[in-house]
Structure 1
Amino acid sequence: MIETRNKAILLVEDEALIAMSEIGQLKNAGYRPVWAVSGERALEIVRSNQEPVDLVLMDINLGGGMDGTEAAREILAANDVPVVFLSSHLEEEIVRKTEEITNYGYVVKNSSFTVLDASIKMAFKLFDAHCSIRSQKMEIEAAYEQMQVANEELLHTQEDLIEHARALDESERTFRSLFEKGPIGTAYHRMVYDDAGRPVDYVILDANKSYEDMTGVAVTRGQRITELFPGIQDDPFDWIGRYAEVAKTGNEMRFQQYFRFTGRWYDIVVYRNKPDHFVTSFFDITERKRAEDALKQSEEKFREMVWDMQVGVLLQGPSAEILLSNPKALEYLGLSEDQLLGVTSFDPSWNVIHEDGAPYPGDTHPVPVAIATREPVRNRVLGVYRPKSRDRVWLSVDAVPQLREDGSVRQVVCTFIDISERKRAEERVENLLRDKELVLKEVHHRIKNNMQGIGSLLQIQADAQADGAAKDALGEAVGRVSSLAVLYDKLYRAETVGSASLKEYLPSLATEIARTYPSRKRIALETRVDDIPLDAKTLSPIGLIVNELMTNAIKHAFAGRPGGRIVVSAVDRGGRVRLVVEDDGIGLPEKGAASGPGGFGMQLVEALVEQIAGTLSVERDGGTRFAIEFDA
């Protein structure tokens, strides 16, 4: 648990009264608030470092001078500190501006201090987790750099051996040009399937000169691989099937393989750029393969290099028995060399598990799989039990088989790094994210309950009124609150932040309005609404418009009649929305078309239509039809 008491919080707020209130609440919660009345002043405080700041509470609208988002960006450029935005703005454009800046929360003003305090604590937790992950990343990068240095040493040794190998008759300059600086062959392909959907071929859409140089063939765009290399479809390596798997799943594939059609070895990377299309990049490693035998003859040099590597290294025989280990491997596994030598990957004492806790059978360990398939196995994550410390270490393991000329496995080089700290950091972040989700759900629940409470209080007050006009006014207020409550509920449940579909919103709203104004008359409600996504800034006035028009129809349209029908519809006409609320009642008088019964309601409708830059028309033909048009 992170200690937050006595943490220094820089409050950036241009309203003095609001700042005084928030400072008092922060002090009561055990924080040390520091107030800055503007973004410029906040930047001075951070840069001077006279008062070290642990967290910044940033208002967005700071009056004159730089706004909150600009101030936050300048502060983050000067100091690594968590920023939480505290604002009354909910507009999508403003919220999006904050998302472009590293921040740890967005709290709406007038939320309870409990919500603000929870958000501050959550920001401290997330910032601490972020710092921890960054530290782990730096350690991993340092280890990776050490691996690169070791790999470079290995390459230099390999070059020395190649110079002395009888099998190599090329000069050092030729080898360096081919092995280190040689261009990479690249080709772009499209997979071809038969009528049953099985991959049977692929087309070469484009290829560079290095591709032709390394394969020894001239490529014509649009040519099929079965035309270029007849018989490739029957090759035991199943080139077409392997490439089809990449084109289908999008999973990158890296392997080294002998290509019998050219008599050469290649190191190949295959990846998909779009469905059924893939790219092959490769370079010729034939000379390196020939040099491997010479390299294997120098076991002592290999041992010296392995001994100083900052990754665990095991050399295992064709039965997966351990032949050699370096100090880092002993450290990671918590065993001595005597305890390790001769033990196989099948030994049950390893007690290996998958990341999800399921048992990891010995025959599926990386080394046995590499022996069985004669192919490298990379980036396998497994948890190994350490008897001495009675804990479990998490390792990322690679296993690379080394083959004899006859294709049998000579030995397997198994390398691994300890990723236990990284996994613990990932688990901490996941827990923090779950906690944040719970806090947000609680906030949404409280807001919804508060809106329901407001509607209930207004309804109780309306029921208690003897005066009909007062009762009607309060009833209309209940309808408007219900409209906003339905909008809030739909926005909260929407997959897109700050927007919802009219199809999800209007039918629910119309039903809620009909329920809010019970009538003895038999009124049928019908809704026909297209799936039209709109932002909250547009949905809110639309909800109030529909509320006013439906309320007016329920109360006045069916005077002297046993019932009738109200229809609410919305259609999208190429980006222009037509919203219609109509009834088959007695209709409005000519004079009432502009103001209508309860003139304030129509004035409100006209103002809201103007707010969304729409147009309003009224038709009185066998009832009343209000049609509003606006841009989606």
Structure 2
Amino acid sequence: MQAHEYEALIANATFGYSYCKIILDSDGKPVDYLFLEVNPAFEKMLGKEPGTVQGKRVSEVVSPVLDDPFDWLDCFGEVALTGKSKEVEGYSVALRRGFRLSVSSPEKGFFNVLSFDITQSKLVELELIKSKETLADYIEHAPDGIFIADSSLRFIDVNPAACKMTGYTKQELLTLKISQILSDEDIPAHRKSIEDLQRTGKSSRVTHFKRKDGTIVTIDIEVVTLKDSRYMSFCRDITEKEQTEIEKNRYMHAFRNTSQPVLIT
């Protein structure tokens, strides 16, 4: 392919192309870069009109990208100074675009960049990260005890409420299996619950935990199956509620079985 054919290919390409010179400070550290050649697709990616980018520094054209979380300057500077090519992905907050970049250096101090717009997939990825962070924050501060167990039913993660509920530290709980914090009388029901989980993917029941100090607490538990044969349990301590119900029933039984008139005010 002749030189003019390459030029035509770059000029009409849907991907961005830029040829740049790295600019260093007195200590040899990259501080800016100069656009020596760009194609229309690259100008469009920057949100600029044709002919407004070439011959200018990035700090003149789109200076906010220098403050992006992804360090473009460090990436390009490393390639320009070492000659080692790179394939990277990054998201520019300033441009609101995600890019997959192929960066190479034809000679020291200069670099070429082929830029591919992957904004949509990057936005999906960022939303997923945000969702995971939100979920992690919820689990950490949830009032209910949350236990996550692996396929062998050993705990692999618990939240602070789970520790408070059982009296164990997180490190201690991560050495135990679910059956080891259940009261002896609840083991048969636990086995039935596992069968339900394997069949339907969820299970709920009232059970009893044996705390580290030996006391028994009544727990309303709901369990769901996650991916990779893991289980997540949402547990609420209903010991006080259960005790209140027992006392209420005891009083009602006394009232129903007395022959004496009872005045309630």
TM-score, L = length of structure 2: 0.41
Greater share of helix: 1
Structure with greater Cα Rg = 1
With a CA cutoff of 8 Å and minimum separation of 6, indicate the structure with the bigger relative contact order.
Answer: 2
TM-score, L = length of structure 1: 0.18
